[in-house]
Each structure stands twice: as structure tokens, then as C-alpha cells.
Structure 1
Amino acid sequence: MNQNDSRLMTQTRGRILGVSALALTFAAGLASPALAQQTPNVVVQEAPPQADRAVVNRIVVRGNERIDQTTVLSYLPIQPGDTIDAVTIDVAVRTLSRTGLFADVQLGLQANGDLIVEIAENPIINQVTFEGNKALAEKKLRDEVTIRPRGIYTRARVQEDVGKIVELYRLSGRISATVTPKLVQLDQNRVDVVFEIDEGPETGISAITFLGNRAFSDSDLAGVMVTKTSKWWRLFSSNDNYDPNRLDYDREQLRKFYTNRGYYDFRILSSVAELKPDNSAFGVTVTVDEGDRYNFGEIKVVTENDRLNGDFLQLLLPIRKGDLYESDRIQAAVDTLTFAAGSAGYAFVEINPTYRADPETDTVNVTFNVREGQRVYIDRINVVGNTRTLDTVIRRELMVGEGDAFNRSLVERSRNNLRALGFFKDVKIEETRGSAPDRSVVNVTVEEQPTGELSVGAGFSSVDSFVLNLGITERNFRGRGQNVVARAEWGSLRQQIDFRFTEPKFLGRDVRAGFDLFHTRYDLSKYSSYDYRSTGGGVRVTYPLNGYASFSARYFLKSDEVVIPYGYCGGVGAGSSALCDQAGSYLNSSAGYTLLVNRLNDPVRPTRGWTASLRR
């Protein structure tokens, strides 16, 4: 009799149990009664290679409560009809475990070909709490961690959040802070995650010492650094706490300080922070090599493009031979050359300054090498920071679009357009590498600022008696860039209402259009025996002629009415004939235009340029 039973079993955490088929052969001989009474001869043979493989008949999922069976099967890399072995099952277990949905996964193949998938789901997070935090607010900690209530608990994410909290405390000057995560098991497979925090003491800076400095005193260099020594009056400052990232920034600040004052070959030999034996504070020692003081030597501009004149570009540089060497002026010169080349139509230029120092004369010769770089096209444009203003309002002010060739001059003009709107406190446009070497991503970052105004005023005069003023102005109505102004004034003699609306992109075109409505009344019947009323409105259109000039046209229509009391102009004792001649209603209209040229270099804080207008 032969029996062959095959079973494959594997468990999570790399435990694989394979039970190979055993071929048991029993031979019984009945030649004589003596042989019949002997114990059967059992021979255990090694299973053939194909005995470790089996065909899956069907897949049965067990243990799932919240997660649907189809979801589990979608992650499982095994289908009915597949031939599997221990390696295949191991891969399947690891695949399911990597989803982060399950706390435990077991797969077993039964003799009838059914693959049993036993899972234990990860619990749902009920709430996340913090204990022991005093130096850092709970909101700051909650914003830092990634786990959230009603999310799925995984040990890896909790450990990742522990590292983030520890780093947050380290940056606040508490390098000995520890965080211990704990779980509170609840019913229905839920848990509370508690981060127990031991903040530890603040680790301050006891002293900052400089070695090797001759040109500048310790106090001069300490003033350059953001890191400060711990003093009692710095109670509300965190810059006197130890932060290695801040010290890295301070080293860069020291380098800029020296190189902007002529010390071309300045170096920081070492920067060491030593913890005191009682772990209360660090002592920072910075060793520098100042070197000699240098001036600029020969300044040249070398270009590979014959249509970019190197001598002309050199005249634009903010550097002259004999000037004190300053590293910031090198960057300013690169920006000037880049902008000049872009304005001339060569947006794809690379400018590489090369230096040659002469220690004998203490001069630095600088050559700016200008060459056309690889043509770069805009892959996409990202707009961030606009919490109120619509994306379309920002994008329509950009003079470049996705798919266009990158042009630095147009990018700078786009930035000026956005700043001129008056909607944003700050506008930054940065370029990063795109999906390919010839592609770039343009990131437009804006910081919103208030655009609405509400004014209320009240007064008293001997003529008007009590006067009340109310005005509302919104320069970015509903985030669409529209301008709305409404004003009202009430007094015993004068009442006035004004309303103005402006659409900066009328019908989606580069045309600024708007309308005005107003009503004014002067009630002078007590003093001059007449009542004056004026009601009207107008339309305005502005069309840009180019990047610097615009043409505006306007038309206004109003109805004026002078009301005189009955009997004032007739009979004995009639009133003023001049006033009587003005009685009645009149319809007046007017039209005009304005030609404006604006060559200012900055719409908000101009430093050069001019404006001119012709108005009629």
C-alpha cells in the first residue's frame, strides 16, 4: 500500500514550515506463517522534487473582520490554478505583511488543494495622546507625528514618530529627551497610542570660544553667530540651547562674514562642542585661519557666443579692479550676467566664475565664463501657499507656461506681475530639476496678506451736523482678483453712495474692465432753496500695448437734477434768476483716455526707472 500526503505551511517573520510528501511502502509476504507474524518492513523513501509543489484549487481567507476578502486577495500574488511551493508561499506572506494591514499572516495548503490564508488585522487607532510634555505644546507634537485617530496601527510608523519627537526635542535644546510608546488595548480590535515623554533638562551653551582670530574680536564673531551663550535674560529665546544644525549654519555665516571682508582664503579648521561633566551645557570652540586680505584683480568676461559681447557685459558687472574682495559681489555679478543674457534672448546660459589668487599681490583675478547651456523646457508649474487666491489668478500673471522654453527674464517679470497685484506679502519663483535633464519644474511660492479694508468714521460739524462714513474695499474679491469698493456717507446736508467693480481679466483676455455707479444728493433747501441730485455711472477699459505701456479708455453718463420749491421762481419776491435757470434735469456724458508708460524696475519698491502718462 502506498500513501502520499503533501502539506505546505508558512508563518510570518520568516518561519516556513514545509512538510514534504512521504512515500511509505509496506511489503507483506504470506509465503509462510512465520513471515506473516513479523513486523512489516517500512521503507521511508526521499520524496521526489515534484512532491514539494502543489496546485492551488481555491483560496480561503479567514480572520478578516474589517478588511474585505477581495482586498486581501488583491494583494495576494497567488491565484487558483497556480503551482506553488515553499518559496512561493514565503513571497506571498512577505507581500501581505508589507501592506501594513495585518499583524500576523499564515498560509497553509491542505491536502485537497485549498490554500488557507489566516490573517490577524492590525488594530485601529482610537486616539493618540502625549504625556510628560511641558516644553513643547501638544499641538506641535501632534503636527509632527504621522499616526492619526481612526488610522491603522503599525509598529514601524510608531517608531518613526518616536524618532520625529526625539528630533523635535533635540532641536529645542533637550538632547537627553526620551520617548516611550505604549499601547492601551480596547475592545473591537482598537488601541490607544500613548507617547510617554521624558523631556530631560535643557542643554545650553556655557561659552563660545574662538581661536586664531586676529582681525576681529571674539565679540564681533559671536555677534555673527545665531547660537548664543546661555544667559538669564534670554529666557524666551531658544538660540542659547545646543543645536548641531544651528552650529552648521553658524559656520557658514562666519565664512560669509570673512569672505565679504576681503579674506578670500578664510577657513574654519575645527568646530567642537564639548559636553560638561554634569551634562548641563556645551562649550563650543571654533578654530579659524583668517588668511590675508585680498582685493579684486583682473576682471574678465569670456563668452562663446559671438552675439554676446564680452566687453559690453563686463561694463555691467558691479565689480572693478582694486575693489575689496567680497564673495556676495561675485553672486551679484552672476545674477547680472544671467539677467542680461536672458533679456537679450539667451535664456539658456551657464555662467561659471573661475578664481586665480595671487598671494604675492593679495589679489584675486576673476573670469566669468559665459556659454550657452542645454535648452531647458518647463515640465510643470507648481503653485503653493495660496490659501485664498485661486490658482488661475496666479497662473494668468505668469509670462511662461508649461511646455515653454525656460526664460529667466520672463520668470522675473512674472514675479513682478504677482507682486504688483498687492495680494501677497512675498513671492518666490524657484527652478528645480524636472523629469529629464532638459526639463525643469518651476515652483511659485506665495504668502498671502490681507486684501480687505473696512473703514468707519463719524463726525460733527456746524453745517452738516452729524456725519457718518462707511467704506468697504476688497482687492481680491472671493480670491478671483476682482476689486470691489463700496462707500456711503450720510449727513444732514449731503448723502453719497459709490460702488466700483473691476475685473482684471475681462472675458479671460488681457483686458482690465470695470464699471462705476454713484448717487449724490445735496439738500440745501434750508440755506439756498434748492436740492441737487446726481445719479450716474461709467465703464472703464485698460488694454496693455506691451510689457511697459497701456492704454485706458473711459466713458461716464450721469443725470443731474436741480429741484426748486414750488413758487420760488414766479410771482412777487421771486428767487434768484440764475438759480431758476438751472432748475430741471440734465443728462451729461464724458469720455477720455490715458496712455501710461511704466519703466520702473520694481512695482513695489522701485530703485530705478521712470513713469509717464498722457491723460485726456
Structure 2
Amino acid sequence: MNTSVEALENDGSKPNDLTPPKEASQESQRNEAPKNEVQRNEAQKETSQSNQTPKEMKVKSISYVGLSYMSDMLANEIVKIRVGDIVDSKKIDTAVLALFNQGYFKDVYATFEGGILEFHFDEKARIAGVEIKGYGTEKEKDGLKSQMGIKKGDTFDEQKLEHAKTALKTALEGQGYYGSVVEVRTQKVSEGALLIVFDVNRGDSIYIKQSIYEGSDKLKRRVIESLSANKQRDFMGWMWGLNDGKLRLDQLEYDSLRIQDVYMRRGYLDAHISSPFLKTDFSTHDAKLHYKVKEGIQYRISDILIEIDNPVVPLKTLEKALKVKRKDVFNIEHLRADAQILKTEIADKGYAFAVVKPDLDKDEKNGLVKVIYRIEVGDMVYINDVIISGNQRTSDRIIRRELLLGPKDKYNLTKLRNSENSLRRLGFFSKVKIEEKRVNSSLMDLLVSVEEGRTGQLQFGLGYGSYGGLMLNGSVSERNLFGTGQSMSLYANIATGGGRSYPGMP
């Protein structure tokens, strides 16, 4: 029995187009007719056996030929066949397809003779490395590679390669380079290993020559564009500090929301900004950007209300902390800041899961708006455990001594932020992050993750002087000695010369 992916995909025979079916059958009968009775009986027996469905057989052994991408143990889990099992062709077909669908192989087929089951593999090549030539710095290239979805160690796949090529072109367009040409070539590094090289012929940038905001009367263009990624090019825009007007296509869909936010920071709560319309002249690489703007009226704050289901903090204390004031022009940025201030005030009392929901009650006729903060306090929360990770050199106790919260402590948001800042100030870590993990309604774990930074410094100096001759100095310093948080420094200065005597001097 021989089962392969190719056989499973092509399950039929094709007649000879040059010979009529009837004549072919007669010719076959004449050639294959037995000359005596014994031959006739043997031929009938063989024909009968070949037309029968293969019988179930017991598996005596299983082996994998040409397999290096995975262990035999993992392959056994995929095929779901064990020594001693009774299998038929259908079960073997299922096992072959399961192996092929792992994506590591060009072809997989199986042979089953005398109870010996063998799976044969033609493996895909591995990607030994990915290079981008013709564009950017190493840091920029690393950023592009992360968007391409292809990396060292992956199996080589044509579809994956095309996807990476498309992603690279899209990323270049998002950075403002249009008409870029990307060619892909492969270089054989060793048997079964390929180097993938993307040759980039970067296209030209498109510049926004004019931006039009139809319907905008209350705000100037520069104010409207203050938060936008795509802006009209300034005169001499190539100079530092001026807007170059370069089109950033990947940010264009978000600019309508940014413009709306500019209006809402200035009290125009009903402002509506259309989707952008971009007209590009590829012969000059100039573009015109067009929006339709409905500004509406400007609102002032008529009143501020705080509704809290459990007054764990006095209302007067909460009101005093707010930035939003009565009779002020409404500012959505202040509203967001105040929601965070209220959250902090409640969370500092131990209510970590408090929720603040801002709401607005507009009076369009008089241009007034009432600001309402609805607060759901929730349960008191305590720290269940503090879990530290990423400290390969620095000991746990050095980290814990900087934390203002520990197990069984009442939650405090300000202390949590100060703990994170305190770890950063140590200077031992390149990255610091404290995450909250909810255990239940009253317990929380703190997950402290750090990434060790460089804490040592080595310096050498070489000089020459008429008095001291050749001078050599060096210093070694370490700010986190053996992960204990202690500092140490050594300094040495060597001079080869003696002094110089002058007439009249002793």
C-alpha cells in the first residue's frame, strides 16, 4: 500500500485519447488472455485480489523518513496511530493529511507493507535570514521586518513571501513613498537553508500642496491641523521646525477624528468632519486634501455634577480636584483629565476597580452643557501577591524594597505609579512595567516585569606630557554590583616619565 498527498488529490485515471475505449478493451483481452487453464485461474485470482479493498492490518512499527522539523514523538501525536493499532487506508490517508497540513513539507507520503508503516517527507527549506537592501537604517529595517510577517527560522513558502512583499510595499506607502518597486531573490546558504533578500527601489514622496477645510469659519487652518498627521506644506517646509507636507497615507483615515478633537477642545461639541478626499497628481507628486466641516455652536459649562454610589471620598474634595469649572468654554481634554483625577482619588482609598463615566447634557438653544460624572466605586481591593520577572541579574529584594505596595496591603494607585517611577530611577533597568491582574472582586496581583540594562562602564585614556612622559589612565565602574544594588569604581593612572631639571633649580 502506498498513500501520498499527490494520490489523494488526483483520484482517477484518464483514458488514452488516441484509442477508442472498445478497441482498447478488445486489444487488452487478446494480449492478456491466458494460454491454458492454470494461467487463467491464476489471472482471475490476481484480478480478484486487486479489486478488493485493502484489508485492515496491525501496525508492527512506525518510522519517519526524512523528518527533521519535528521530533518523532510530536509526529506520533499528530498521526494518532500507535504500534499495535489496526489501521486501514482511510486512517493512513488521514494521518498523511494531518502531517502535510503542518505547513513544513512540500510532500508527504506513506508506505505500509507487512505491518511496517513508514512516513516519507520532502521538507521545505528554512529561512536562514532576511535582508532589506536599498532602504533606511538598521532600526528602520527592523521596524519593516516586524510588519512583513517573515523572519529567520520560518519555513520557506511562496505565499508567505508574496505577503511579505505586499506588506513591505504597504509599509513604504504608509511612510510616504509611492510607486516603490520591491524585488525578492533567494540565496542558498546551505542544504535546506535560504537567505531571503528584498531589493527596494524606493518611490517618490507625495507632498500636500493645499489642504481645504470647506465650512470652517471659527478656527484657522493651522489650528485645525495642529493634531493632524497630514498637513499643508509650509513655505520652505524642508527647514527644521516647519511642516514638510509629506503625505502619510497610513494616518490619513485617523485625521478626521483628530480634527474633530481640536474642535471639541474649543467647545464645538457638534462639530462633524467628513472623510478626507485626496487628489494626487503623480506627474508632479503634489496632492490636494479636502474636508467638509460642520462646526456648530460653541458650548460653555453651565453646571458640574458628581454622582457616586458610595461616598468614600467627600464630594467637596472631588469637586475641588476638578479642572473643569463652571462658565468655562467646554474642553474635552479637561473632561478626560478630570475623569482620571476622580479615578485616582477613589483608587487611592483602595477601590481599584472604580469606574468613572462622564456624561454631557447639552442645551443647544442657549449653548450650554452640563457635565455629569457618574462613579461606580466597587469593592475594597487588597494586594494578593507581587510577582517579579525579567530580573536576570538584580535580586528580587532590590526590586521589592522600591515597591510601596506588598501582599495584604490595601491598593493605592498613586503608590503604584510611584513604585514604577522609583524602579526607573534606579537606573538598573531599560524597561519597567507594573501590570494589575485581577484575582477576584477584592484581590489583585501585581506583575512587575523589568528588562536589565547596562550598569557598568569602562574608560581608558592615553596621553603624553613633557613632564610626565607617556601617561595611561583607566577606570571601571559598576552601579549594580552582582545584582546587589551596590556601586563600585576603580581608577588607575600610570606615568612613565620622571621630571625634568632646569639650570638654577635644586
**TM-score higher than 0.5:** yes
Conservation of the 8 A alpha-carbon contact between 2:134 and 2:201:
no
Tell me how many residue pairs correspond in the alignment.
451
- Structure 2 equivalent of residue 11 of structure 1: 5
Within the candidate set 256, 264, 269, 2:261 is matched to 256
In the TM superposition, what are the counterparts of 1:28-427 in structure 2 within 5 Å? 51=54, 53-64=56-67, 72-73=75-76, 75-110=78-113, 112-130=114-132, 133-137=133-137, 140-141=140-141, 144=145, 152-155=155-158, 157-185=160-188, 188-230=191-233, 233-234=237-238, 240-276=245-281, 278=283, 280-373=285-378, 393-401=398-406, 406-418=411-423, 421=426
In structure 1, the residue corresponding to 2:416 is in which secondary structure? Answer: helix
Q: Separation in 1 of the partners of 2:339 and 2:225? A: 30
2:85 counterpart letter in structure 1: D
**1:182·1:193 contact (CA, 8 Å) conserved in 2?**
yes
Whole-angstrom distance in 2 between the partners of 1:221 and 1:55: 77
Comparing 293-302 with 158-167, which one deviates more in the overlay? 158-167
State the one-letter code of the partner of 1:114. Answer: I
Comparing 322-331 with 121-130, greater Cα deviation is found at: 121-130
For residues 220 and 89 of structure 2, the distance between their equivalents in structure 1, rounded to whole angstroms, comes to: 72
Q: Which has the larger radius of gyration?
A: 1
TM-superposed CA distance for 1:355, in Å, is 1.1
Q: Matched residues in 2 for 1:411 and 1:422: separation? A: 18
Partner of 1:605: none
| 1:140 counterpart letter in structure 2 | E
Change in Cα spacing, 1:381 to 1:225, as seen in structure 2 (3 Å) is: farther
**1:481 matched residue in structure 2:** 485
- Alpha-carbon deviations, 1:28-47, whole Å to 9, x = none? xxxxxxx9799779698899
Paired AA for residue 124 in structure 2: N
The 3 A distance-change label for structure 1 pair 56 and 180 is farther
Deviations, residues 155-195 of structure 1 (Å, cap 9, x unaligned): 46544543443343123212433434333446633333232
Asked if the contact 1:11/1:107 (under 8 Å) is kept, the reply is: no
Q: Secondary structure at 1:482's aligned position in 2?
A: coil
Aligned partners of 2:213 and 2:293 also within 8 Å: yes
Q: Secondary structure at the match of 1:324?
A: coil
Q: Deviations over 1:471-499 (max 9, x none)?
A: 9987655664335578999xxxxxxxxxx
Q: Distance in 1 between matches of 2:483 and 2:187?
A: 46
How far off is 1:293 after superposition?
A: 0.7
Percent identity, please: 22
Partner Cα separation in structure 2 for residue 381 and residue 287 of structure 1: 52
Q: Distance in 2 between matches of 1:259 and 1:129?
A: 46
**Shift, 1:117, TM fit:** 0.8
Post-superposition Cα deviations, 1:40-79, rounded to whole Å, max 9, x if no partner, equal 7969889999856443332233234787656654643322
**Contact kept in structure 2, 1:9 and 1:16, CA below 8 Å:** no
Q: Is the 8 A contact 1:209 1:286 kept in 2?
A: yes
Structure having the higher helix fraction is 2
Amino acid at match of 2:185: K
The CA distance in 1 between the partners of 2:189 and 2:453, in whole Å, is 44
Task: Give distance in 1, aligned partners of 2:491 and 2:128.
Answer: 53
SS in 1 for 2:362: strand
| Structure holding more strand per residue | 1
Which range is displaced more, 85-94 or 258-267? 85-94
1:325 CA displacement = 0.7
Q: Distance in 1 between matches of 2:75 and 2:53?
A: 29
CA distance in 2, matches of 1:228, 1:387: 46
Mapped partners of 1:447, 1:268: distance in 2: 46
Distance 1:378 1:212 in 2: 56
Q: Which amino acid aligns with 1:250?
A: D
Give the deviation of 1:328 after TM superposition.
1.6
Structure 2 CA distance for aligned equivalents of residues 415 and 345 of structure 1:
18
- Cα deviation, residue 340, structure 1: 1.9
Q: 1:274 to 1:306 in 2, by over 3 A?
A: same
Summarize the Cα distance change of 1:13–1:240 in structure 2 as closer, same or farther, 3 Å threshold.
Answer: farther
Distance 1:391 1:54, change over 3 A: same
**Residue type at the aligned position of 2:347:** G
Q: Is the 8 A contact 2:3 2:93 kept in 1?
A: no
Displacement after TM superposition at 1:295 (Å): 0.9
Structure 1 gap ranges (5+): 1-6, 20-34, 457-469, 490-616
SS in 2 for 1:335: helix
Q: TM-score, normalised by structure 2?
A: 0.71
Partner of 2:504: none
User: Cα RMSD between the aligned structures?
Assistant: 4.8
Alpha-carbon separation, structure 1, partners of 2:421 and 2:186: 54
Q: Which moved more, 1:166-175 or 1:359-368?
A: 166-175
**Aligned-partner residue type, residue 288 of structure 2:** G
What is the CA deviation profile of residues 261-296 of structure 1, one whole-angstrom value per residue up to 9, with x for unaligned ones?
111222212222333354834432222221111111
Distance in 1, Cα, partners of 2:311 & 2:212 = 54
- The change in CA–CA distance for 1:480 and 1:357 in structure 2 (over 3 A counts) is farther
Deviates more, 1:291-300 or 1:217-226: 217-226
Contact 1:296–1:364 (8 Å) recurs in 2:
yes
Between stretches 354-363 and 45-54, larger displacement belongs to: 45-54
The letter of the residue matching 1:10 is S
Q: Distance in 2 between matches of 1:80 and 1:426?
A: 51
Q: Secondary structure at the match of 1:251?
A: helix
CA contact (8 A) 2:351 2:379 kept: no
Q: Answer with 233-242 or 410-419: which moved more.
A: 233-242
Indicate conservation of the 8 Å contact 2:352/2:413, yes or no: yes
* 2:196 partner SS: strand
Return the alpha-carbon distance in structure 2 between the equivalents of residues 447 and 247 of structure 1: 38
Which structure's relative contact order is higher, taking Cα pairs within 8 Å and 6+ residues apart?
A: 2
Distance 1:379 1:17 in 2: 61
Contact map agreement 1:348 1:406 (CA 8 A) in 2: no
1:270 match: secondary structure:
coil
Q: Distance in 2 between matches of 1:106 and 1:314?
A: 74
8 Å Cα contact 1:350/1:371 also seen in 2: yes
Show CA shifts across 1:432-471 (max 9, x none): x6688986765667897989899x9xxxxxxxxxxxxx99
